[in-house]
Amino acid sequence: MKLYSVFCVISAVMLVFSCETAQVSSGGSVYRFPEYKGTVSAGSWNRSITIDYIVEGVRESVPVHIYFPRSYRKGKDMRTLIGLHDLNGSMSSWSRFTRIEDYAEQHNYIIVCPNMPGTLYETKYYPETTRKWNRIPGGKWIAEILVPYLRQSFGIARDKKKTGIFGCSTGARGAVLVAGSYPDIFGAVAGFSGAYDSLADSDSRLMASVYGNYKSNKERWKKEDNIILLAENLKDIPVILGHGKDDGTVPYDQTRLLAIRLLQLRSKCAGQGEPETATEGERRPYEFHMTLRRNEYHNWVFWRTMPRYMILLFNKYLDHE
């Protein structure tokens, strides 16, 4: 869809949004997890951690890689970032293709990378859904399984102000989607090369595998997991965006669209008396940062440059110990 059409979508959406954040499920979980009794190796990736639980009477098991910096001590609620991979990636993608652990070490972050290949990080399944990563939809799983597990087993990710989420490609969509769907969990979010407007990709077979055919489910595509609508819930969650201008898989207009949406929401708040510019020590509503880079594509050559960019901004918005 051309950018003109995308702007039309935004204009239509603006008829229904307000300065107040929408009411969303808090993501309270019925699952209970025991304290982790294994050995935590600080200063390295812990690659033998598995989250086990039972859903619909069936035992599920999802592996996760966690990097604990050398400064980690048991029971210490350190700043924690959940890292999501692309559609065909894995929990080892961020550690394999980047040196994100160097920045985690330098700035005292725990990095959590769950293994979620195949998910679009959706929050619901439907009768037409043919692609199911797990019995629990991927986005819902992060908020209602992964985060409770981290809190109960390690005592981390308990404080919104110390918890962030990021991702690339499909994982970028997932990060912003989950932050917008569960705004009480995350204090900042970053997305790189993400697709945020479902309506701009209405002929996508991949999206149809979760949400059903667009022509038969237009209202669902407009209202369910629609990041353009969910952006309203990012009022106090700074957003960090990046995209390659030569991306041939996901046009960088997708990132520009989300930025425009956030600007419009900020202006709406300003019209209701809230500050549109930040003063020292304060934050604007709908704060965001965006980098669009020439000669960068939809690949790890680009994404591996993102940890340094995002960590410095996460430092600005997530509380230190």
**Contact between 171 and 189 (Cβ < 8 Å):** no
Question: How far apart are the C-alpha atoms of 190 and 179, rounded to whole Å?
Answer: 10
What tens digit of pLDDT does each residue of 247-266 get? 999 999 999 999 999 999 99
Q: In whole angstroms, give the CA distance from residue 104 to residue 307.
A: 9
Q: What's the average model confidence in pLDDT over 189-200?
A: 96
Name residues whose C-beta falls within 8 Å of residue 312's C-beta, 6 or more positions apart in sequence: none
**50 is written with which tokens?**
């598995």
Which of the four pLDDT bands, split at 50, 70 and 90, describes residue 201? Answer: confident
Distance CA(246)–CA(186), nearest Å, equals 30
C-alpha distances (whole Å) from 91 to each of 14, 17, 126, 203 are 37, 36, 26, 29
Q: Yes or no: say if 259 and 241 are a contact pair by the CB < 8 Å rule.
A: yes
pLDDT reported for residue 278:
54
DSSP letter string, 119-153: ----S---TT----SSSS-HHHHIIIIIHHHIIII
Give the chain's domains with CATH numbers.
36-317 (3.40.50.1820)
Q: What is the pLDDT of residues 93-122, one digit of tens each?
A: 999 999 999 999 999 999 999 999 999 999
Query: Among the listed ranges 10-24, 73-87, 202-216, 266-280, which one has the minimum average pLDDT value?
Result: 10-24
pLDDT grade for 43, boundaries at 50, 70 and 90: very high
Q: Which amino acid is at 120?
A: L
The share of the chain scoring above pLDDT 90, in percent, equals: 83
